[in-house]
Amino acid sequence: MAAVFTDSNFEAEVLKADKLSVIDFWAPWCGPCLALGPTIDELSKEYDGKVNVGKVNVDENPVISTNYRITSIPCVLFIKNGQVVDRQMGLAPKGVFDKKIQKLIGA
63-76 pLDDT per residue, tens: 999 999 999 999 99
33 catalytically annotated: yes
30 catalytically annotated: yes
What distances in angstroms separate CA 59 from CA 27, 56, 63, 70, 76, one per listed residue? Answer: 6, 9, 10, 11, 16
Catalytic residue among 30, 58, 70, 77: 30
Closest of 75, 43, 45 to residue 57, by C-alpha: 75
**Segments in 1-107 forming alpha helices (H):** 10, 31-46, 62-67, 94-105
Domain boundaries, the chain: 3-100
pLDDT at 107 (0 to 100): 53
pLDDT at 77 (0 to 100): 98
Question: How many whole angstroms separate alpha carbon 51 and alpha carbon 77?
Answer: 13
Catalytic residue among 14, 33, 75, 79: 33
pLDDT at 48 (0 to 100): 94
55 - beta bridge partners? Answer: 4, 24
CATH architecture of residue range(s) 3-100: 3-Layer(aba) Sandwich (3.40)
Q: What is the pLDDT of residues 20-70, one digit of tens each?
A: 999 999 999 999 999 999 999 999 999 999 999 999 999 999 999 999 999
What pTM did the predictor assign? 0.94
Query: How high does pLDDT run on average in the chain?
Result: 95
